Amino acid sequence: MRYTVDKSDAGQRLDQFVTRRIKKASRAQVREAIDEGQVTINDQAMKPSYKLRLGDVVEYPEIDARQEEQLPQQFDLDILYQDEHLAAINKPPGMVTHPAKGHWDGTLTAALIAKFSQLSDIGGASRPGIVHRLDRDTSGVLVIAKHNEAHEALSQQFADRTTEKEYLAIVANCPDRDRDVINEPIGPHPRFRERMSIVRDDPEAKEAKTFYEVAERFDGYAAFKVFPKTGRTHQIRVHLAHIKHPVLCDRAYGNQARITLGEIARTDDEEIVLARTALHARRLKINHPVTGEPLEFEAPIPEDIHSTLVVLRKYRSV
């Protein structure tokens, strides 16, 4: 949908304007669409709080509100820890955390509703229990809140950056240093709506800081331990691509969607070794939202990433 702002609409917040025009969509759905770059002003992604100006051209999708109320779906969940306040889940790759355009079924939230009798509702009906998220192809530790008090306490820890997060990433190219810090602001990509990018001197950009160290070196590849200090959308993927070490099989920020045995072994073998982003949320340390007790969760390395490391050790060892 496309609309040119007139005098009656000038000065309104972007999220309020779009919510009024798509009457069947919730404000949470609209904010999600804006955050994902699906709503643009003059072909640029903006914040939900952006104030409309006379003559602005607003483009927004026909948001499907049918699945605002999630229906339970039975899936096997790998529960790393749970009590009456929270749960830690090992999210599998390929599972969307919460419903979004084109992904209404098979979400983690649908599985959570089927599994737990109570979940927080601060995030709205489409995000029960969801305190933070992982990208669809990223596997690993995800913390779930079972009630609103726990949700608020956990959210505050993420906002205050007191949580400790460790990821495992397999990246292209072997680095010339053992460790480093990437401190570059991240904001909406100027051309591709569903991507983020390094954007300096832009009011839409947010501070982003990532520390990494090399866990293993290969000929043309490396395994990184990654410790994000902030939690920006696609942060690890954007930062590592920026330093010329894109995460392997990253469709958005790398140059391939899959890698074959032949590419690694330098043969004609077309057997697929990996077909999703080689990123795994391996460890998360928090304080219990009620007792304050330190808690640490670790998700084992999934089979596809483990197999990729085995192949790299066999054919690309240094």
Which residues are designated catalytic? 135
Nearest to 57 by CA among 137, 112, 119, 3: 3
Cross-strand bridge partners of residue 55? none
Contacts of 177 (CB under 8 A, 6+ apart): 214
Contacts of 223 (CB under 8 A, 6+ apart): 168, 169, 170, 171, 214, 215, 216, 309, 312
Give the span between the Cα atoms of 245 and 239, in whole angstroms: 9
In degrees, to the nearest 5, what angle opens at C-alpha 165 toward C-alphas 173 and 250? 35
Nearest to 250 by CA among 143, 171, 151: 171
Question: Is the Cα torsion angle 214, 188, 285, 298 positive or negative in sign?
Answer: negative
> What is the DSSP pairing of strand 139-145 with strand 279-287?
parallel
User: Backbone phi, then psi, for 200, in 5-degree steps?
Assistant: -95, 155
For 271, the token pair is 């057997």
Say if residues 27 and 13 touch (Cβ distance below 8 Å).
no
Helix/strand/coil (H/E/C) assignment for every residue in 121-181 = CCCCCCCCCECCCCCCCCEEEEEEECCHHHHHHHHHHHHHCCCEEEEEEEEECCCCCCEEE
Give the span between the Cα atoms of 213 and 233, in whole angstroms: 21
